[in-house]
Amino acid sequence: MTIAKRLGLATIVLIALGVTSAYYVTMMALQTRSGPVTSFVFIVLGLLAVATVLVMFVFWHGIGRAMNRISGQLHHMTRTRQLGLVMTDGAQELQHVVRPLNELLTMLNGEMDRLRADRRELEIQSRIASAEKHHVEAIIYSISDAVIVTNRFDELLLANEAAEKLLGFDTSAALRKNIDGVISDGTLVRLIRETCSHGRSSHRRVVEHSMDRKGQPRTYNITLSCVVAPNGEVSGVVAVLRDITREKEIAQMKTDFVSNVSHELKTPLSSIKAYIEMLVDGEAEDEQTRQEFYDIISSETDRLNRLIQNILNISRIESGVVTAHREPISISGVVKQVLDVAAPQASAKDIKIAQQLSPVYYQIEADHDMIYQAVLNLVSNAIKYTPPGGTVTVKTAVDEVRRMAVCEVADTGAGIPANDIPHVFDKFYRVSANKKVAKGTGLGLALVKQVIESVHDGNVSVVSEQGKGSRFSFELPVLN
Ligand code: ADP
């Protein structure tokens, strides 16, 4: 029998007894006379009622204690978040409630164990994902090219320092903002937007694009990749911008160098060939004409030799195979030798050569041929880039305080624009504004710098003003 039924039955019995007792007491009160039988019945009924109340009290007390214990156990479980089984301590009446409650608790316990395992798994995965994210960020931040990562809504997800500097934004403020409002270069924004619009088939492409940086035009190779999730959905774009301005300049310089060298070799060779043919054909009738032809052939051969020496020396110095034969030499002595050789080139252009040379007894310890080549390059450049009628002044001096021998070659020629000055000593570099003034290879000054600075630990410098002239100088320690 269930508790509800038992409780119902006990209540009905109590009510019946109560009603009967009340009815009887009332009847007795109405009949004034009462006999011993009536008193006996009244006592029995009273005892019966007291016994019933006692039974009910014991019964409810037992139930109440069991309920308190159950409630205590449930509170404990709530506090400790540990589900266990509920114990009734033998209160059989509550078994009907406790059994299904324990079944429910067992089921919940299993469910909680499963959820805890799931949670642990998720935590591990989240830690792995966060470590991987940091890894990727570290890689991206260490790349010197500019890197931008966007999501499929064209919002900025990640950008490295190079991108911030190039595009002028602050990543922490620009995160999750649409690239429209972050990147001012409209073409770049369009390229990022279009990257995934053609679907997966074209998910990586490289585009060359020019942008201004600090007011200077620069060329970038932009590699755009459409990021596709394993389920095939487009999840964003990665754009890597590599500055190829210098690479392009070098490639152009090399192309120019090959064509310039070919030209520089061909011109004296054709001239030598032409004069030899004239001599062979007997076109030089008198001794003076023949002598003129020999001089031209000789000076053109020197020009060829100078060019080949420049090319060879520069590559020897760069590869470190050159050995300088150091000996005490006089710079003024070397300058005199150079001026003797350069005199015909200067007089052919009607250029006056002025010399202010220090006494020859000042000496430096250096490789004669290399210093000769360096001075020759400076003097022939001065003649090359000075229009007819100009003046080239060559000076040597000794700075007694610093114990340095100084050599200066100044001219009244084309001069060099301020922007080009920092680059004139670079290999293959030719000043655009002066390209029409004279042909060349862009190697002469590079060799001067190598010889003076790398081989002899000296200094080279230039002061120049476009249209007014230039002054190249170098200094080397003087011997005591
Ligand atoms: P190049 O063979 O072109 O003369 P260099 O290395 O000797 O090469 O010189 C580099 C560039 O520097 C030249 O192309 C020229 O424009 C510039 N330059 C060199 N010397 C002078 C000078 N005395 N006056 C003006 N420009 C000069």
- Rounded to the nearest angstrom, the distance between the alpha carbon of 424 and the centre of ligand 1 is 7
- Rounded to the nearest angstrom, the distance between the alpha carbon of 217 and the centre of ligand 1 is 24
- Rounded to the nearest angstrom, the distance between the alpha carbon of 306 and the centre of ligand 1 is 15
pLDDT confidence of residue 49: 74
The rounded distance, in Å, linking the Cα atoms of 88 and 3 is 14
Contact between 6 and 93 under an 8 Å Cβ cutoff? The reply is yes
Contact between 403 and 364 under an 8 Å Cβ cutoff? The reply is no
Residues 446 and 473 grouped into a single domain: yes
What does the buried/exposed string (b/e) look like for 115-134 if buried means 16 or more CB atoms within 10 Å of the residue's CB?
eeeeeeeeeeeeeeeeeeee
The answer to whether position 353 is within a domain reads yes
Among 73-87, 175-189, 212-226, where is mean pLDDT lowest?
73-87
Give the up-direction half-sphere exposure of residue 390: CA atoms within 13 A in the CB hemisphere: 22
Instruction: Determine how many CB atoms are found less than 10 A away from the CB of residue 338.
Output: 21
The answer to whether position 403 is within a domain reads yes
DSSP β-ladder status, 391-399 and 352-356: parallel
Reported confidence tier of residue 10, pLDDT bands at 50, 70, 90: low
- Domain end point (choices 288, 319, 350): 319
Among 295, 282, 305, CA closest to 369: 305
- Rounded to the nearest angstrom, the distance between the alpha carbon of 348 and the centre of ligand 1 is 19
- The atom number, within ligand 1, closest to the CA of 445 reads 6
The rounded distance, in Å, linking the Cα atoms of 343 and 299 is 11
- Rounded to the nearest angstrom, the distance between the alpha carbon of 430 and the centre of ligand 1 is 6
| DSSP at 35 | -
Q: Is the confidence at residue 28, as pLDDT, over 80?
A: no
CATH number for the domain spanning 268: value is 1.10.287.130
Atom 11, ligand 1: which residue's CA is nearest? 430
Q: Is the confidence at residue 40, as pLDDT, over 80?
A: no
The rounded distance, in Å, linking the Cα atoms of 343 and 376 is 11
The answer to whether position 105 is within a domain reads no
Bigger pLDDT: 452 or 315? 452
Dihedral sign, Cα of residue 294, residue 298, residue 299, residue 301: positive
Q: Decide whether any atom of ligand 1 lies within 6 Å of the 416 Cβ.
A: yes
Q: Decide whether any atom of ligand 1 lies within 6 Å of the 414 Cβ.
A: yes
pTM of the model: 0.57
Contact between 355 and 394 under an 8 Å Cβ cutoff? The reply is yes
Instruction: Write out pLDDT tens, residues 127-152.
Output: 999 999 899 889 999 999 999 999 99
Instruction: Write out pLDDT tens, residues 237-277.
Output: 999 999 999 999 888 888 888 888 888 888 889 999 999 99
Reported confidence tier of residue 373, pLDDT bands at 50, 70, 90: very high
Residues 471 and 337 grouped into a single domain: yes
Reported confidence tier of residue 212, pLDDT bands at 50, 70, 90: confident
pLDDT confidence of residue 209: 95
The answer to whether position 136 is within a domain reads no
Can you give the C-alpha Rg of the chain in angstroms? 53
- Rounded to the nearest angstrom, the distance between the alpha carbon of 442 and the centre of ligand 1 is 7
Ranked by mean pLDDT, the top range of 6-10, 62-66, 69-73 is 69-73
- Kindly report the backbone phi and psi dihedral angles of residue 203, in degrees, each rounded to the nearest multiple of 5, phi listed first: -85, 5
Q: Is the confidence at residue 33, as pLDDT, over 60?
A: no
The answer to whether position 183 is within a domain reads yes
The rounded distance, in Å, linking the Cα atoms of 15 and 9 is 10
pLDDT confidence of residue 335: 96
The rounded distance, in Å, linking the Cα atoms of 20 and 17 is 5
Tell which one of 267, 306, 416, 468 to mutate to probe ligand 1, the residue whose CB is within 8 A of the most ligand atoms.
Answer: 416
pLDDT confidence of residue 408: 97
Using left for φ > 0, alpha for ψ between -120 and 50, and beta otherwise, residue 282 falls in left
Q: Would you state the structure tokens that stand for residue 87, as one six-digit string? A: 């114990």
CATH number for the domain spanning 451: value is 3.30.565.10
pLDDT confidence of residue 8: 63
Q: Is the confidence at residue 65, as pLDDT, over 80?
A: yes
Q: Decide whether any atom of ligand 1 lies within 6 Å of the 434 Cβ.
A: yes
Residues 216 and 252 grouped into a single domain: no
Reported confidence tier of residue 12, pLDDT bands at 50, 70, 90: confident
Residues 270 and 344 grouped into a single domain: no
Residues 343 and 315 grouped into a single domain: no
Reported confidence tier of residue 349, pLDDT bands at 50, 70, 90: very high
Question: What domain range includes position 56?
Answer: 3-82
pLDDT confidence of residue 306: 83
**Distance, C-alpha 120 to centroid of its chain:** 35
Using left for φ > 0, alpha for ψ between -120 and 50, and beta otherwise, residue 218 falls in beta
The answer to whether position 392 is within a domain reads yes
Give the up-direction half-sphere exposure of residue 229: CA atoms within 13 A in the CB hemisphere: 7
CA 27 to each of CA 33, 45, 46, 212, 310: distance values in angstroms, whole numbers, following the listed order: 11, 14, 15, 118, 147
Q: Is the confidence at residue 2, as pLDDT, over 70?
A: no
Which residues are within 8 A (CB) of 171 and not within 5 positions of it... i.e. 6 or more apart? 156, 158, 159, 163, 164
Residues 56 and 179 grouped into a single domain: no
Q: Decide whether any atom of ligand 1 lies within 6 Å of the 236 Cβ.
A: no
Instruction: Determine how many CB atoms are found less than 10 A away from the CB of residue 158.
Output: 19
Residues 221 and 258 grouped into a single domain: no
- The atom number, within ligand 1, closest to the CA of 472 reads 23
pLDDT confidence of residue 198: 67
Q: Is the confidence at residue 43, as pLDDT, over 80?
A: no
Count how many domains the chain has.
4
Q: Decide whether any atom of ligand 1 lies within 6 Å of the 440 Cβ.
A: yes
Residues 387 and 457 grouped into a single domain: yes
Q: Decide whether any atom of ligand 1 lies within 6 Å of the 390 Cβ.
A: no
Percent of the chain at pLDDT above 70?
91
Instruction: Write out pLDDT tens, residues 287-306.
Output: 999 998 998 899 889 889 88
Atom 21, ligand 1: which residue's CA is nearest? 381
Residues 224 and 361 grouped into a single domain: no
CATH number for the domain spanning 163: value is 3.30.450.20
Give the up-direction half-sphere exposure of residue 48: CA atoms within 13 A in the CB hemisphere: 15
Dihedral sign, Cα of residue 239, residue 245, residue 250, residue 252: positive
Residues 277 and 163 grouped into a single domain: no
- Rounded to the nearest angstrom, the distance between the alpha carbon of 412 and the centre of ligand 1 is 14
Among 136-140, 190-194, 358-362, where is mean pLDDT lowest?
358-362
- Domain end point (choices 243, 265, 286): 243
Residues 306 and 369 grouped into a single domain: no
Terminus-to-terminus CA distance in the chain, angstroms?
A: 127
The rounded distance, in Å, linking the Cα atoms of 229 and 224 is 16
- The atom number, within ligand 1, closest to the CA of 425 reads 6
Q: Decide whether any atom of ligand 1 lies within 6 Å of the 395 Cβ.
A: no
- Domain end point (choices 265, 284, 319): 319
Bigger pLDDT: 337 or 196? 337
Bigger pLDDT: 52 or 346? 346
Judge residue 109's burial from the number of C-beta atoms within 10 Å of its C-beta, 0-12 exposed, 13-18 middle, 19 or more buried.
Answer: middle
- Rounded to the nearest angstrom, the distance between the alpha carbon of 397 and the centre of ligand 1 is 24
3-state secondary structure at position 195: helix
Atom 14, ligand 1: which residue's CA is nearest? 430
- Kindly report the backbone phi and psi dihedral angles of residue 395, in degrees, each rounded to the nearest multiple of 5, phi listed first: -125, 145
Tell which one of 434, 443, 462 to mutate to probe ligand 1, the residue whose CB is within 8 A of the most ligand atoms.
Answer: 434
Q: Is the confidence at residue 74, as pLDDT, over 80?
A: yes
The answer to whether position 62 is within a domain reads yes
Reported confidence tier of residue 449, pLDDT bands at 50, 70, 90: very high
Residues 343 and 442 grouped into a single domain: yes
Percent of the chain at pLDDT above 90?
55
Please name the residue that has the structure tokens 């305080």: 401
3-state secondary structure at position 309: helix
Q: Is the confidence at residue 9, as pLDDT, over 80?
A: no
What average pLDDT does this structure show over 323-331?
92
Dihedral sign, Cα of residue 25, residue 26, residue 28, residue 32: positive
Q: Decide whether any atom of ligand 1 lies within 6 Å of the 351 Cβ.
A: no
- Rounded to the nearest angstrom, the distance between the alpha carbon of 278 and the centre of ligand 1 is 34
Q: Is the confidence at residue 35, as pLDDT, over 70?
A: no
CA 21 to each of CA 24, 26, 44, 48, 252: distance values in angstroms, whole numbers, following the listed order: 5, 8, 10, 10, 125
The rounded distance, in Å, linking the Cα atoms of 166 and 218 is 11
- Rounded to the nearest angstrom, the distance between the alpha carbon of 415 and the centre of ligand 1 is 9
The answer to whether position 33 is within a domain reads yes
